[in-house]
Structure 1
């Protein structure tokens, strides 16, 4: 039977024992990429966020529906769970920093740019004014790295300084963002259960009307549309990045039967799920990193 799972690693090609609560690791891009002919295939990290810093060369960066061609000096932040891959020009140089999910607790609050960087993800040029600082921090972390499964406070402090030297996504415009963030977290952890809107609202301690007003005001969609968009994104990931058939994807996502899943997919996507299997992601500069 073909697999319905997208490869999940801590470091590309490597797993980690589940009892490792905290970890942090940095390595040169060439350390791993050169072994794979500078091509890192689609995969994701379910327990960590990753920052890639490119100081020389070019990269074709893919993260879910986002595709970018970037030249050094540039950076990419990959949030937890996003399917991503890299294609580097030979002899590219830079570093890959991997941080366990708990690193986000270093943020001082919901409006901290650090939190937006690590949870929303982004990519772009490293500001010229910060380039020397970013380079030095990477080199210093390489020097002080010991057991990456038990990172030292100095290493984590340097990692925070590095991430804070990168431009963050735009600031959220209102307090609704906190409520939406909690709603999104519930969606992520209960996506396959297909709960009702009342179920979500009850766990947010608000009414369905309040949740609906928040989503319409901030996202111009209903809460159920947001849930459906997330289900559709996961379905597209599984169809594109695994060898699973439509029936397996339907089962993985908690649909009662593959026919119902196919109708759901076609209604929202405008094409049958079988048509989207293994298609290349199209360039779309409007697509967000998610």
Structure 2
């Protein structure tokens, strides 16, 4: 009965909140706008981002190349680039990009977005429900001026992010407002069809929540399946159908993500990191990290 209750429970408290200023780049702890390339974030967090949310932050992902699996709350999509998806604060989302995928990621404090929207509404703009729900939009490239303009703005905000000056904050806010206007223009364009059953997405999210709670314990797949009161075969089938990845890969990716974080932000030794992540043998952790990232843990830390 307890296992069935777990499957039936919809509680965002189980979904981790990721604050990029604290978890990724501490220079941005107190900033309203955070820009980063998709490639750099993927190098740190991995190409598989399990279900999470961003408390008090909006996030815009623009994918320029490759195919992406996206899960926005209870909806799931498989979309070819170019595309973008937008997640309002607290909306749970997960996504998986291909290894060669490139793009932009903008994270914005919700109060700034609200202020910009209020300013636009004062001019007679009547989209009062704008940015309340998540968006997923496939961008048309054939003689589409709106798409071209939107992608050009993303290039400009990436370039502006490189300049450290008094004017940078003003420029970023101005570009962000133009990007929000373009998102409004593009919002009704090429909405992808949902590709996965809601029940499968729900099971997939619960599995990721369990991974978040137990990945350091190195539970077997059968132990995870038992906690969810489903078979290991069904769990693996759902993970492949929803994410394109086997269930075991999701656990390994979470371990790698945490290893990257500890190597970047802590001063503890590589052996201690291995023990922290539940590896009983430091040499096994070293091989695990090298086999899954292509570099040694020491090389990654030095970078």
TM range (shorter): 0.5 to 0.7
User: Could you tell me how far 1:17 is from its partner in structure 2?
Assistant: 10
Kindly indicate whether structure 1 or structure 2 has the higher relative contact order, using CA contacts under 8 Å at least 6 residues apart: 1
**Which SS does the other structure have where 1:243 is aligned?**
helix
Counterpart position of 1:6:
15
CA contact (8 A) 2:51 2:205 kept: no
**Which SS does the other structure have where 2:182 is aligned?**
coil
1:120 is aligned to 2:128: no
Counterpart position of 2:104:
95
**Which SS does the other structure have where 1:50 is aligned?**
strand
Q: Cα gap change, 1:239/1:41 in structure 2, threshold over 3 Å: closer, same or farther?
A: closer
After the TM superposition, which residues 200-239 of structure 1 pair with which residues of structure 2 at under 5 Å, given as runs?
Answer: 239=206
After the TM superposition, which residues 1-290 of structure 1 pair with which residues of structure 2 at under 5 Å, given as runs?
Answer: 5-11=14-20, 13-14=23-24, 20=30, 23-102=32-111, 103-107=113-117, 108-109=120-121, 112=125, 116-127=129-140, 128-145=144-161, 152-166=169-183, 167-168=186-187, 239-243=206-210, 275=229, 280=238
CA contact (8 A) 1:75 1:125 kept: yes
Query: Is there any run of 5+ residues in structure 1 with no aligned partner, and where?
Result: 171-234, 245-272, 284-290
User: Could you tell me how far 1:114 is from its partner in structure 2?
Assistant: 6.6
- In the alignment, the residues of structure 2 paired with residue 56 and residue 78 of structure 1 have an alpha-carbon distance, to the nearest angstrom, of 20
RMSD over equivalenced CA pairs, Å: 4.0
**Which SS does the other structure have where 1:9 is aligned?**
coil
Q: Cα gap change, 1:48/1:137 in structure 2, threshold over 3 Å: closer, same or farther?
A: same
CA contact (8 A) 2:60 2:86 kept: yes
Q: Cα gap change, 1:131/1:88 in structure 2, threshold over 3 Å: closer, same or farther?
A: same
User: Could you tell me how far 1:90 is from its partner in structure 2?
Assistant: 1.4
User: Could you tell me how far 1:67 is from its partner in structure 2?
Assistant: 0.8
With the length of structure 1 as denominator, give the TM-score of the two structures. 0.53
- In the alignment, the residues of structure 2 paired with residue 29 and residue 19 of structure 1 have an alpha-carbon distance, to the nearest angstrom, of 19
- In the alignment, the residues of structure 1 paired with residue 204 and residue 90 of structure 2 have an alpha-carbon distance, to the nearest angstrom, of 11
Deviations 1:69-108 (A, max 9, x none): 0111111011110111111111111101111111122113
**Which SS does the other structure have where 1:87 is aligned?**
strand
- In the alignment, the residues of structure 2 paired with residue 113 and residue 49 of structure 1 have an alpha-carbon distance, to the nearest angstrom, of 21
With the length of structure 2 as denominator, give the TM-score of the two structures. 0.51
**Which SS does the other structure have where 1:242 is aligned?**
helix
Deviations 1:256-278 (A, max 9, x none): xxxxxxxxxxxxxxxxx9559x9
